[in-house]
Amino acid sequence: MRLFIGIPVKFEEWLQRVYSRVEALRADIKMVEPKNVHITLAFLGEVREEKVDLVKESMKEVKFSTFSLTFKGLGAFPSLSRPRVIWVGISNGFNDLKTLRTSLVKSLAARGVRPEDGQFQPHLTIGRVKGPKGVLELMKLIEEMLDIPLGEQEVREVTLFKSVLTPKGPIYEELASIQAH
């Protein structure tokens, strides 16, 4: 099973406005389905079914308190000059996310489950660039929205998702979740 641990993000009015601005560019961009918007804490990749319970146990071991996230500005990976992934940044709550991820990774590692490596850069992916059409306009929009506060959300739960890839895009199924204390 293809798994990841993340925080679901509510598709609220502020996020709808961001989507509208990006979609208005009529660029060759595939937006993330509103119901799939989330912050990834740990991408586990392909996990054998017999290891799923170990992942759930690892999650139950992690304790965290409710905290607030402030979403701020747009950005792109790998860079603004070569945008492939469009994201919304996180200002307040950034360190809380890093601490939460560290606890998760430590708990998973103790059970022999290793998330994908790489530097953890908390963000909210909203779209993927599929071609060159509208990229210059996208770059201008990202620069224009770089430091604009966009919205907030309380983090009260962390969810284990199963991701099934289909030609129409991924389908996410919630397998388990933990609540803040």
Give the dihedral of Cα atoms 8, 118, 95, 41; nearest 10 deg: 20
Catalytic residue among 3, 7, 38, 41: 38
d(C-alpha 29, C-alpha 32), whole Å: 10
123 as an active site residue: the answer is yes
Any idea which residue has 């319970």 for tokens? 53
d(C-alpha 107, C-alpha 143), whole Å: 38
Catalytic residue among 40, 123, 127, 145: 123
Structure tokens at 65: 């308190």
The model's pTM: 0.93
Any idea which residue has 């604009």 for tokens? 148
Q: Indicate the residue type of 165.
A: L
State residue 112's pLDDT score. Answer: 93
State residue 118's pLDDT score. Answer: 76
State residue 117's pLDDT score. Answer: 77
Please list the pLDDT of the chain residue by residue as tens digits (181 residues): 999 999 999 999 999 999 999 999 999 999 999 999 999 999 999 999 999 999 999 999 999 999 999 999 999 999 999 999 999 999 999 999 999 999 999 999 999 999 987 788 899 999 999 999 999 999 999 999 999 999 999 999 999 999 999 988 899 999 999 999 8
State residue 43's pLDDT score. Answer: 95
d(C-alpha 54, C-alpha 49), whole Å: 10
State residue 47's pLDDT score. Answer: 94
Residue 55, number of CB atoms within 10 A of its CB:
24
Please give the order of strands across the beta sheet that includes 38-46.
38-46, 2-8, 157-164, 171-179
38 as an active site residue: the answer is yes
